[in-house]
Structure 1
């Protein structure tokens, strides 16, 4: 079991902003997960990976794939209090789910 968080590299977010957005995405997707899967993921060390994409369009493509496959996911939009305009889509978390399901969707992406 793992979770992939895909963040937009094209926004130039600072390290702190990136960390906050990734945390928002991870938590939001876990809240969309069934209790059994959540417990299994947590019991296995909460494995996650942070990847990058270069557009909002790519994040929504990933969301569509996760939705079709029934995989928990969450798209994050920034509140606009600091570096970005309100509503800017910053990242998506996919999973937790099986490594195979996550890799099928995100396997072609690079590490952040």
Structure 2
């Protein structure tokens, strides 16, 4: 994916995670904290879709919101392809349990 496509997919993941938690509990303290402290986001690299799906399963097993984004197929990527994984908002220590070994994109 090109840089712009990656940015768009990451934006979709951020919004998907936020909306998932918001729908479940509009007054969730983690959402309020995340909003108050600047909505931190970090882009990390995985080697494969399989690795990404394993990370999603690990995140969910820890009680974290984890949303895989599937592309609509209008530009660079085949329709339905899993492109990015959003995890959080959550405490950094919890997210690091899932992603702490990954390198920055």
- TM-score, with structure 1 as normaliser: 0.86
- Equivalent residue runs for 1:90-105 within 5 Å: 90-105=83-98
Q: Are the aligned partners of 1:95 and 1:102 in contact in 2 as well (CA < 8 Å)?
A: yes
Match of 1:30 in 2: 18
Aligned equivalents of 2:81 and 2:4: distance in 1?
Answer: 16
Corresponding residue pairs, total: 100
Partner of 2:41: 48
Matched residue, 2:57? 64
Say whether 1:74 aligns with 2:62. no
- Three-state SS of the structure 2 residue aligned to 1:71 is coil
CA distance in 2, matches of 1:45, 1:59: 26
**TM-score, scaled relative to structure 2:** 0.91
Structure 1 residue 36 displacement after superposition = 2.2
- What root-mean-square deviation, in Å, do the aligned CA atoms of Structure 1 and Structure 2 show? 0.9
Q: Is 2:5 the counterpart of 1:17?
A: yes
Distance 1:20 1:48 in 2: 13
Aligned to 2:79: 86
Q: CA deviation at 1:30?
A: 1.1
- Structure 2 residue matching 1:58: 3-state secondary structure: helix
